[in-house]
Amino acid sequence: MSFKKDFVWGSATASYQIEGAAFEDGKGWNIWDVFTHEGGHVYGNHTGDVACDHYHRFKEDIKLMKELGMKAYRFSVNWARIMPTGEGAVNEKGIAFYNELIDELLANGIEPYLTLYHWELPYDLYKQGGFLNPKIADWFYDYASVIAERFSDRVKHFFTLNEPQCIIGLGYLSGEQAPGLKTGKKDIFQMIYNLLRAHGKCVSALREKSVQPVKIGLASCGNTYYPASDSPEDIEATRYATFHMINDSLHEAVWNFATFMDPIYLGEYPKELREYFGDVLIELTEEDKKLISQPLDFYGQNNYNSAEIKAGKDGKPEIVNRYDGFPETMMLWPVTPEGLYWAPKFIYERYQKPFFITENGLASMDWVHVDGKVKDYGRIDFLQRYLRALKRAAEDGADIAGYFQWSFMDNFEWALGYAKRFGLVYVDYETQERIPKESAYFYKEVMETNGENL
């Protein structure tokens, strides 16, 4: 069997990771510009100042996307390129760049999927408190209004946020990523509340200001699991772990995706948040619920790995320790294709929305071989295993709408700089040469056959 006939095949990127041109044509500073230029935060003190120089080479890149069979492309818009201070004046040169990008995609038969926020908070908004300031919802509304008014005549699919768990968990809990803070639980829950309202305001703007009917969702991440066996007990324990906190730590609260997705899709916080964090949790008013849980058209999940669960005492979920030598990627993430069956299955059961895998892929040890090829056979095996699992989820009744491989090309991997390569296309950062890897040709065949031969 293959995936459904209108299945969406594509790849994904994020603006700061590929565009470069960090200080050209009126773009303002964002938190990643500041974070990287401060030094000491990123491997090798690398920055995204140039990255893949996609800002100047997007036509070349889109031509290559077409040659490699891409049907859809998920990209993000850099808020500070559109509105340099995050509010007020619009930068027409930034608008022009994204207009040309969208037009070029459509001219090459590639459907644009636009993410409004992939971590590039304008620095001027950060100085006003950023996600700690309740005004973030209104700032996001105004930004989303510009996006809708300028691009919705051609873009039909929008993601409001990418990985709210990472926005909070890496930016403000662990401090690993921009803006690099370590805040307490009171601030964490204030930001979660503000971020949820910002999402809702973004949806409102897109619905109100778009010039044609559009489809809206967001891209989540968070902890996902698969059962240690096919026993009903292990499966039920895994289902429970997927949507409930296993312990009462702040880390668990932030990385349990139901913390964000339940309010958005069901209109309520998970019950454990009230039980464990009732002293700092900002309860949702009826007005909040109406704003935050406006109907969405699809659900997006970024998934790279999952943990194994077994039923312990009284059926409670327990994480199974991995054996020594368990397969890992260059990120030291376990290779767990089972997660691309069980996570979509459970999430679709709960939220009942067409389901996209919005990111999936791996960092592997890639280099150009003496014959000029990049022979990333590990990535081919990885993709085949994960896509087989996703296909099984579709065959078992989940409405699997599409798959975006991460990433189209090697890029700036956040705090790891250019040390890790996730791309289907190899990028020589000294020359900016692009070389499709062997996995790109494998994925092209998968797309051409709609996964028939996986």
Six token digits for residue 234: 């292990």
pTM for the predicted model, two decimal places: 0.98
Q: What is the pLDDT along the chain (454 residues), one digit of tens a residue?
A: 679 999 999 999 999 999 999 999 999 999 999 999 999 999 999 999 999 999 999 999 999 999 999 999 999 999 999 999 999 999 999 999 999 999 999 999 999 999 999 999 999 999 999 999 999 999 999 999 999 999 999 999 999 999 999 999 999 999 999 999 999 999 999 999 999 999 999 999 999 999 999 999 999 999 999 999 999 999 999 999 999 998 999 999 999 999 999 999 999 999 999 999 999 999 999 999 999 999 999 999 999 999 999 999 999 999 999 999 999 999 999 999 999 999 999 999 999 999 999 999 999 999 999 999 999 999 999 999 999 999 999 999 999 999 999 999 999 999 999 999 999 999 999 999 999 999 999 999 999 999 998 9
Our answer to whether residue 283 is catalytic in this structure is no
Length of the chain counted residue by residue: 454
Residue 398, CA distances (Å) to 18, 74, 299, 338 in order: 33, 22, 12, 15
| Given 111, 120, 308, 359, the catalytic residue | 359
CA distance 116 to 210: 14
Q: How many CB atoms lie within 10 A of CB 12?
A: 29
| Given 104, 111, 120, 163, the catalytic residue | 163
* Residues 218 and 159: beta-carbon distance below 8 Å: yes
- DSSP strand pairing (400-406 vs 355-359): parallel
Our answer to whether residue 349 is catalytic in this structure is no
CA distance 412 to 46: 8
**Amino acid (1-letter code) at residue 401:** A
**Amino acid (1-letter code) at residue 283:** E
3-state secondary structure of 306: coil
Residue 129, CA distances (Å) to 134, 135, 160, 337, 391 in order: 9, 9, 20, 40, 43
Q: How many degrees, rounded to 5, is the angle at CA 253 between CA 234 and CA 190?
A: 160
What's the burial of 10, exposed, middle or buried (CB within 10 Å: 0-12/13-18/19+)?
A: buried
Instruction: Report CA torsion sign: 319, 321, 326, 329.
Output: positive
CA distance 163 to 234: 28
* Residues 168 and 125: beta-carbon distance below 8 Å: no
